[in-house]
Amino acid sequence: MREKVAVIVPCYNEEAVLKESYRRTRAVLDTLPYPGEIIYVNDGSRDATRSILDELAATDPRVKVLHFSRNFGHQPAVTAGIHHCDADLAVIIDADMQDPPELIPEILALREREQANVVYCVRSHREGESFFKLFTAKMFYRIFNAMSEVRFPLDTGDFRLIDRKVMDEFVRFNERGKYIRGLISWIGFKQVPFHYERKARIAGETKYPLRKMFSFASNAMLYFSKKPLRIATGLGFLSVLVGIILAVWFTLGKIYGFSNAEEGWTSIMTTIIFFGGVQLLTVGVLGQYIGILFDEVKARPEYIIDETRNFDRKVSLPQE
Ligand code: UDP
Ligand code: MG
């Protein structure tokens, strides 16, 4: 029997791209020697995304849809897609066609050739993105790697192929703040890179404004690394050291008369401000981790599903 492949697509206010995105993805699925389906996760869109997806699901039984009760975010949407996927292989892809679905056959071929469990797609070139986005993304992946205890492939998004083995491990992760590309790397097995050119969005706007990008990046760091805590401790040690040196210096100065302590207003202020800053910073770092603990302890569901389409219906898969 041929394996089944599912394409998982998170969508948030993607009315501008959905129809075209579906057309292109379906065209690719039609050419595959595998039976295929598309799992759309509507992450609480406020535009016509919902009705477009319902329409697609009504006409094509290979289109499965999960409607969230509100916007939960990109990572929870992909997570829900993986949780609800019963296929042997899944390709995670964005709705905006920045990652071309036309590459799926090549990715599948690479998996078969290499007998890999994961094919992660590495962007060798990105079109239509601001210098700022490219720069911050590049910096992020490098800082992230330096910080985290595990090594991760650079310049890799969620665009990747994963097999059943990886999905079965993924569903065992209970953490709320999932950084999916990191977790999949962390799972292990055989993972191979696939280089491609990331295109510009075909229409609509990015759903990742600066604020979301920042929280995404800082969450990834905090979930994958305890280094910020170690850096905070290091800063603490450093200030103690500086404190001791200053104390010795001033005491000796007083005894031997080479420092005039009364005139030290500037140095005192500088020291207070500097160490006040160090303290606030380290308390802030601690606070970040406590915040994560708080969220994880509450263990709220990662997403809430309002309605589904075509998940219960027996799908008759196209013949080879
Ligand atoms: N997305 C989502 N929920 C969100 C934000 C984004 O499901 O809260 C989806 C979005 O519809 C798209 C993918 O995640 O399919 C990536 O978003 P986008 O293309 O806007 O990000 P960018 O490529 O600009 O980083
Ligand atoms: Mg995009």
Phi, psi of 244 (to 5 degrees): -65, -45
Kindly report the protein residue whose alpha carbon is nearest to atom 24 of ligand 1: 206
Q: Is 117 in a helix, a strand, or coil?
A: coil
The ligand 1 atom nearest the CA atom of 11? 11
* Calpha distance 101→24 (Å, rounded): 7
Residue 318 DSSP symbol: P
* Calpha distance 17→25 (Å, rounded): 12
Instruction: Centre a 10 Å sphere on the Cβ of residue 31 and count the other Cβ atoms it contains.
Output: 10
Which residues are registered as beta bridge partners of 10? 41
Among all ligands shown, which has an atom nearest to the Cα of 10?
1
From ligand 1's centre to the CA of 22, what distance in Å? Answer: 16
Which H helix or E strand runs over 295? helix 265-298
* Calpha distance 260→152 (Å, rounded): 54
pLDDT of residue 316: 47
Report which of 116, 204, 191, 122 is spatially closest to residue 150, judged by C-alpha positions.
191
* Calpha distance 238→242 (Å, rounded): 6
pLDDT of residue 155: 83
Residue 304 DSSP symbol: -
Report which of 192, 18, 213 is spatially closest to residue 113, judged by C-alpha positions.
192
Kindly report the protein residue whose alpha carbon is nearest to atom 2 of ligand 1: 74
From ligand 1's centre to the CA of 222, what distance in Å? Answer: 21
From ligand 2's centre to the CA of 25, what distance in Å? Answer: 16
Six token digits for residue 319: 């013949």
Instruction: Centre a 10 Å sphere on the Cβ of residue 2 and count the other Cβ atoms it contains.
Output: 12
pLDDT of residue 319: 43
From ligand 2's centre to the CA of 206, what distance in Å? Answer: 6
Ranges of residues in the chain whose predicted pLDDT is under 70: 1, 259-263, 313-320
Kindly report the protein residue whose alpha carbon is nearest to atom 14 of ligand 1: 74
Q: Which of 18, 50, 208 to mutate to test the pocket of ligand 1 (most atoms within 8 A of CB)?
A: 208
pLDDT of residue 220: 86
